[in-house]
Chains A and B, each alone.
Chain A
Amino acid sequence: MSTIQLIAGENEPHPDVALVDRVRGGDVLAYDTLVRKYDRQIFRIAQHITQNREDAEDVMQDAFLKAYEKIDQFQGNSKFYTWLVRIAVNESLMRLRKRRTGKMVSIDEDIETDEGSVPRDLADWAPDPEQNYGQAELAEILRKTIQGLPQGFRIVFVLRDVEGLSTEETAETLGLSIPAVKSRLLRARLQLRERLSRYFRRKRGAEK
């Protein structure tokens, strides 16, 4: 029995553990399965960070290749997915740095803002407000809104709320403390709420 299985085996071993073991044994097809399982998420995370489609394509390829090369370094005390996300986040930040040469890019960027920490727009939203927009229009609103968040808030929101990582996993992935993740998450959620209010608030006279 390998080390990863011992550590993960407390409850049910995660199905990725067996796949990772097969990859280590030289089974490329097992890696194919892992790529297919997580490619959408990795692409999405890369897009959220780089905000650029070509960069996201490159990040996705580089992240999966790097994970393959380094698979022997994967410790198994975190999930394979979390480990992969960490690689993808780092690749994305690196890509950003290249693009904006000379400008520092980190997840601590632009963090000093109190925007949204005190809710100002207190109008209630229409019931199922997203249904007042077509799919493409809604996607555009959601993209524009989340792109306006400071980088360090946006990444925390994406990992925690969109991709479903736990607070601990998010902290580990980004190298942040748990209180820092919590405080960023609250502010990210409140800022997004505030910004979406403009589109989703109940229109005057539209009450049923």
Chain B
Amino acid sequence: MTCSEFLALLDDLIDDSVTPETRAQLQEHLRGCDHCEVTLNTTRKTIEIYRSHEIYDLPPSLRERLHAAIMARCKKGC
């Protein structure tokens, strides 16, 4: 397996949607290729960081204000 073949399957590997045979081939490639191992690990980390950090939070006061506005209009039948 070449690096570009590995890269083409990177998402499937990360999303855990590869067959056991393909997984074995990918792991075989990783054993001999530091570059792809770094790419895999840092891509996983990228996703994890975005998933676990709130970069646009909704402050409680704003949330209550928007909520009240929405419900007031819904009650009027919009």
- Interface residues of A, count at CB 8 A: 45
Q: Which residues of B contact A190 (CB under 8 A)?
A: 10, 39, 43
| A15 interface residue per 8 A CB criterion | no
Tell me what chain B mostly uses at the interface: helix, strand, loop, or mixed. Answer: helix
Given A31-B74, A68-B74, are A36 and B67 also a contact pair (CB < 8 Å)? yes
A-B contact count (CB 8 A): 106
Closest to A47 in B: B56
Given A57-B62, A57-B66, are A182 and B50 also a contact pair (CB < 8 Å)? no
Tell me what chain A mostly uses at the interface: helix, strand, loop, or mixed. Answer: helix
Least CB distance from B68 to A in Å reads 10
Are A56 and B50 interface neighbours, CB within 8 A?
A: no
- Complex alpha-carbon distance, A190 and B74, angstroms: 42
A74-82, A83-91, A93-101, A191-199: which lies at the interface = A191-199
Q: List which B20-78 residues lie within 8 A (CB) of chain A.
A: 34-35, 38-39, 41-43, 45-47, 49-51, 53-58, 62-63, 66-67, 69-71, 73-75, 78
Least CB distance from B56 to A in Å reads 4
Given A28-B74, A61-B66, A186-B11, are A124 and B41 also a contact pair (CB < 8 Å)? yes
Complex interface bits, A38-58 against B, C-beta within 8 A gives 1, otherwise 0? 011001100110000000110
Show the binding face of A for B, using Cβ within 8 Å.
28, 31-32, 35-36, 39-40, 43-44, 47-48, 56-57, 60-61, 64-65, 68-69, 118-119, 122-125, 129-130, 138-139, 142-143, 146, 157, 161-162, 182, 185-186, 189-190, 192-193, 196-197, 200
